[in-house]
Homo-oligomer: A and B are copies of this chain.
Amino acid sequence: MNNPGLSGIYRDYIACLNRRDWQNLARFVSEEVVHNGRRFGLSGYLDMLIEDLEQIPDLHFSIQLLVCEPPHVAARLAFDCTPKDTFLGLGVNGRRVSFAENVFYRFQAGKIVEVWSIIDKAAIETQLER
């Protein structure tokens, strides 16, 4: 798979998330997907996304940086949203926060098989202290 191809697949995956198009999630995410070392599988991955959206109804994934070297994609995602209650253990309680996620994906046969994600919790803490 060439580089533009993998970038394109990744952009389509993000568009799928932003549409809440769960029926097509299996086009992008492997049945065997591992997230931060945990063997979620596709159903656990979908559960995680649904839980995120329950906590953050206005969640929107925005690609700020995309670095692609097959079989890996690295992305810096930007969020600007209003978590309802707690998020990452922080009492956000409907305040608007902006933060980033730096995340690596390994693809196999065009699907995500491994994810290593870090969300910038410290940035949210700083905004809540204001």
Residues of A within 8 A of B (CB): 3, 65, 67-69, 72-74, 76, 88-89, 100-104, 116-122
Q: In the docked arrangement, what's the CA distance between A69 and B2, Å?
A: 12
Judged by DSSP, the binding face of A is strand
Q: In the docked arrangement, what's the CA distance between A3 and B102, Å?
A: 21
Query: Could you tell me if B122 and A88 are in contact, using CB atoms closer than 8 angstroms?
Result: yes
- The residue on B at minimum CB distance from A114 is B65
A121 CB, min distance to chain B CBs, angstroms:
5
Residues of B within 8 A of A122 (CB): 88-89, 119, 121
Query: Could you tell me if B100 and A118 are in contact, using CB atoms closer than 8 angstroms?
Result: yes
A25 CB, min distance to chain B CBs, angstroms:
23
A104 CB, min distance to chain B CBs, angstroms:
5
A50 CB, min distance to chain B CBs, angstroms:
21
Query: Could you tell me if B100 and A116 are in contact, using CB atoms closer than 8 angstroms?
Result: yes
A97 CB, min distance to chain B CBs, angstroms:
15
Query: Could you tell me if B102 and A103 are in contact, using CB atoms closer than 8 angstroms?
Result: yes
The 9 A-B residue pairs with the shortest CB-CB distance in the complex, in nearest-first order: A74-B74, A102-B102, A67-B74, A67-B72, A102-B118, A118-B118, A118-B120, A67-B69, A121-B121
Residues of B within 8 A of A118 (CB): 100-102, 118-120
